[in-house]
Amino acid sequence: MTIEQVGLLLLAAAVVAMVARRLHVPYSVGLVLAGILLAALSMTPEFRLTKSLIFTAFLPPLVFEAALYIKWSELRRDLPVIVTLATVGVALSAAVTAVGMVWLAGWEWPGAVLFGVLIAATDPVSVIATFREAGVKGRLSLLVESESLFNDSTAAVAFTVALVLATGGQVTAAGVVWDVVRMVLGGIACGALIAGGALALAGRTDDHLVITTFTTVAAYGSFLLAEHYHLSGVLASLTAGLMVGNIGLAGSITDSTHDALESFWEYAAFVANSLIFILIGFRVAHGDFGSVVQATIVAIGLIIVGRALAIYGCCAVFRRSNLRVETDQQHILVWGGLRGALALALALGLPSDLPHASEIVTVSLGVVVFSILVQGLTITPFLRRLGAIPA
């Protein structure tokens, strides 16, 4: 990767942002199409979309920035709904997809389970970018963004267990429970530790550049520390973002630095989003979908069905309580459950010697393309029709 290549991609992203706004199409869709076009013009950069690139460069700032603006008082109220969707919902969606891929696509169980798990969680990169651009606010915005952040951790833990089984390892019920507890609590602890240190240092200065640097360290440091110890990096950055946003902006971080921080993290998210979606476009342009068309179509259908069962089933639990999710909001959660970079990252991290690994990667890419292009293009009209945003 060279600075010239990064500069070219950012220039393309800026132009796409202008054109997408004029044409009233989602920015993410324009970026993917731009990546496909650049690849067709043989302008593909030397670096590729890999699990390491997504996890170490892109996810930390995106998760942190999203969590930065979530109010703990609002999150706490809807936490039972969000946790249910992010755990039971992900498990149900993964099960539907895995069983369907065995029965309808003829896959073997290990590959089907791995695919079901990695594709079950909605992607915070795609979901948050699309819904923010559409102007979704209020409780619906909280549910959409928070679920996409929390369910990543569930998918990552389940994926780790499924990968051990697929590669011939031994797992026990007690071992699975311990891994879940360790990864979740450990990730939260890493986020709290790093964010707490950053806030303590930030409280000793009024220099907005220094404070911004501390928040950057909190975003990346929490994620990388957790991943180093095989804990949940997403939960670590999520915890750090929540702490900085709810404690820092109201306490040790003064009002004079608030605007500077918002501008910095808005731009950081813009850069990360731009590079991810353009690189997805490059990956699509070089993908060989001919041999997996049927499996991809089956997978798309199963994922939509699994998502619907997960949302409607989980929300039914709260229908007689003050946490009831309105029917229209449930419809939006179903169709707005976009897949993106996270699913690709997990798929790209599969061992190359794992049976059908390349097939899983290609089908995952096909699902992501459908999610970004089809669901991404239709979600804003869908939101208008249901009255979630002004017509």
Question: CA-based angle 125:325:244, to the nearest 5?
Answer: 45
> What is d(CA 207, CA 168) in angstroms, rounded to the nearest whole number?
53
The pLDDT of residue 20 is 87
Q: Give percent above pLDDT 70 in the chain.
A: 96
In this structure, are residues 59 and 213 in contact, taking their beta carbons and an 8 Å threshold?
no
What does pLDDT average to over the chain?
89
Mean pLDDT of 19-39: 89
329-354 tens-digit pLDDT: 999 999 999 998 888 888 988 888 88
Least confident range of 91-105, 110-124, 307-321: 110-124
Residues 277-290 pLDDT 10s: 999 999 888 888 88
**pLDDT above 70: residue 104:** yes
Residues 285, 35: contact at Cβ < 8 Å? yes
Mean pLDDT of 48-66: 89
Express each pLDDT in 241-267 by its tens digit.
999 989 876 555 666 677 888 899 999
Of 70-79, 117-126, 239-248, 376-385, give the lowest mean pLDDT range: 117-126
Measured between alpha carbons, how far is 28 from 377 in angstroms, rounded to an integer? 9
Q: Tens digits of per-residue pLDDT, 126-151?
A: 888 888 888 888 899 899 989 988 88
pLDDT of 158 strictly over 70? yes
Distances (CA, A) of 281 to 63, 113, 139, 181, 323: 22, 26, 32, 36, 39
What is residue 85's DSSP assignment?
A: I
* pLDDT, mean of residues 26-30: 89
